[in-house]
């Protein structure tokens, strides 16, 4: 019985993955001496990008002397809401989170506002009409990322006369990167009717689901020319499916992905992926700066957009050895 209770307690702690680093003391610092407590509600550990993002946040908190209370929502909105409520109860100085999905945040954000705890959105946005519910949003422009993917495709097939059959692996349903990367891409390729998205389904940003969904795409669509995957991990899973079907990734099926994590860049350098649009996970240092400012009551920009680039196969070969994540 004791063993079972211990296991349950341990499982609960692991699910919340509460970790503290830095030197402040639970919600009392208030930023006066720079020592503040941040509650950070992470999406999960679904991808290489997410692992790098978590490390960036944890390392930066340590370097900035911010006490970090960290929770992993395992890609579930209800877990994130629970974590945010627990941070409110603990009276942290600031809450930061990367929302799993865009909708359904108003109630808990209102609770944080009523408790006078500032909230920073990081990586992903919410669709709340009331923008006073959070202080700032730090992260990428996902629509722009989708457009960059589309622009490469339009250029690559500029002389093609036949239809170009595209399959799309979407990120987590309802998440900002899935919604926006789809919209940006569709906007660019929509200008030419030869580009046809013949199948589009979620792979939940994971390698396993990317492989599974690509296997199904290959079974029902014999003539796939292009795969557009909303992240590297799904693209890497899909490569396994393509090879399993006896086709050559990067040649028989051209592949565009988003992120540029090391494994994706390796596949790009190896010729298995054709183009990667970068999405930087290294948000930690900027997040800590913003957090200190909002706790002090200083003005911060409503939107801070991350700087990013794109990579061809040749560019990947050049930068691979110095890639941090
Ligand atoms: O929100 C950023 C996205 O989430 C990354 O592109 C993806 O890899 C991650 O899971």
Identify the residue whose C-alpha is closest to ligand 1 atom 3.
177
In ligand 1, which atom is closest to the CA atom of 124? 1
Question: In sequence order, what are the residues at sequence separation of 6 or more whose Cβ sits closer than 8 angstroms to the Cβ of residue 195?
Answer: 153, 154, 157, 163, 164, 166, 189
For β-strands 119-122 and 94-97, DSSP reports them as parallel
Give the pLDDT confidence score for residue 324 in this predicted structure: 86
The alpha carbon of 293 and the centre of ligand 1 are apart by a number of angstroms equal to 26
**Per-residue CA distances from 107 to 85, 96, 104, 115 (Å):** 11, 16, 8, 13
Contact criterion met (CB below 8 Å) for 314 and 274:
no
Using DSSP bridges, classify how beta strands 310-311 and 275-278 pair: parallel, antiparallel or unpaired: antiparallel
Residue 29 confidence (pLDDT) = 52
Residue of 45, 49, 179, 276 with the most ligand 1 atoms within 8 Å of its CB, for mutation: 49
| Minimum-distance ligand 1 atom for the alpha carbon of 123 | 1
pLDDT reported for residue 21? 37
Cα of 50 vs centre of ligand 1, distance in Å, is: 6
CA of 146 to the centre of ligand 1 (A): 13
- In order, the DSSP letters of 244-310 are HTT--BTTTBEEEEEE--HHHHHHHHTTSS-EEEE-----HHHHHHHHHHHHHT----SEEEPP--E
Cα(281) to centroid(ligand 1), Å: 8
Of residues 86, 92, 84, 118, the one with CA closest to residue 38:
92
* CB-based pocket (< 6 A), ligand 1: 46-47, 49-50, 123-124, 177, 205, 231, 233, 258-259, 279
Give the C-alpha distances (Å, rounded to integers) separating 8 from 2, 4, 76, 220, 271: 10, 6, 19, 44, 46
CA of 272 relative to ligand 1 center, distance in Å: 20
* pLDDT of 9: 37
Q: Distance between CA 238 and CA 313 in Å, rounded?
A: 18
Q: How far is the CA of 197 from the centre of ligand 1 (A)?
A: 22
- Ligand 1 center from residue 165 Cα (angstroms): 25
9 CB neighbour count, 10 Å cutoff: 10
Cα-to-centroid distance, 114 and ligand 1 (Å): 30
> The whole model's pTM is what?
0.90
| C-alpha triplet 151, 155, 160: angle, nearest 5° | 130
Task: Return the closest-CA partner of residue 176 out of 110, 250, 124.
Answer: 124
Along the 325 residues of the chain, how does pLDDT read in single tens digits? 333 434 333 334 333 443 443 333 344 455 455 589 999 999 999 999 999 999 999 999 999 999 999 999 999 999 999 999 999 999 999 999 999 999 999 999 999 999 999 999 999 999 999 999 999 999 999 999 999 999 999 999 999 999 999 999 999 999 999 999 999 999 999 999 999 999 999 999 999 999 999 999 999 999 999 999 999 999 999 999 999 999 999 999 999 999 999 999 999 999 999 999 999 999 999 999 999 999 999 999 999 999 999 999 999 999 999 998 9
User: Residue 228's closest CA among 305, 150, 168?
Assistant: 168
Contacts of 242 (CB under 8 A, 6+ apart): 214, 218, 227, 248, 249, 252, 253
Residues 225, 324: Cα–Cα separation, whole Å: 32
Distance from C-alpha of 77 to C-alpha of 71, rounded to nearest angstrom: 12
Which of 41, 42, 43, 170 best tests ligand 1's pocket when mutated (most atoms within 8 Å of CB)?
43
């Amino acid at each position: 019985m004791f063993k079972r209770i211990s296991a349950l307690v341990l499982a609960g702690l692991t699910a919340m993955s509460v970790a503290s680093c830095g030197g402040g003391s639970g919600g009392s610092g208030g930023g006066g001496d720079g020592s503040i407590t941040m509650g950070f509600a992470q999406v999960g550990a679904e991808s290489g990008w997410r692992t790098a993002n978590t490390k960036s946040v944890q390392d930066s908190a340590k370097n900035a002397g911010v006490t970090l209370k960290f929770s992993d929502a395992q890609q579930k909105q209800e877990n994130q809401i629970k974590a945010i409520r627990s941070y409110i109860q603990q009276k942290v100085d600031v809450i930061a989170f990367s929302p799993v999905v865009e909708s359904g945040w108003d109630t808990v954000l209102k609770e944080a506002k009523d408790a006078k705890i500032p909230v920073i959105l990081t990586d992903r946005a919410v669709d709340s009409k009331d923008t006073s519910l959070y202080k700032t949003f730090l992260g990428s422009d996902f629509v722009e990322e989708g457009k960059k993917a589309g622009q490469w495709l339009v250029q690559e097939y500029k002389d093609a006369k036949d239809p170009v059959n595209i399959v799309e692996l979407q990120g987590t349903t309802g998440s900002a990167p899935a919604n926006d990367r789809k919209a940006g891409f569709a906007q660019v390729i929509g200008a030419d009717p030869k580009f046809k998205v013949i199948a589009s389904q979620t792979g939940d940003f994971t390698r396993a689901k990317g492989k599974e969904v690509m296997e199904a795409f290959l079974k029902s669509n014999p003539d796939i020319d292009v795969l557009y995957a909303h992240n590297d991990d799904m693209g890497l899973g899909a490569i396994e499916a393509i090879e399993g079907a006896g086709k050559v990734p990067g040649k028989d099926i051209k592949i565009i992905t988003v992120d540029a994590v090391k494994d994706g860049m390796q596949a790009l350098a190896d010729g298995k992926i054709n183009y990667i649009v970068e999405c930087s996970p290294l948000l930690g240092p900027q997040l800590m700066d913003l957090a200190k400012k909002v706790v002090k009551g200083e003005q911060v920009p409503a939107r801070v957009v991350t700087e990013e680039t794109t990579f061809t196969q040749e560019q990947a070969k050049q930068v691979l050895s110095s890639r941090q994540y």
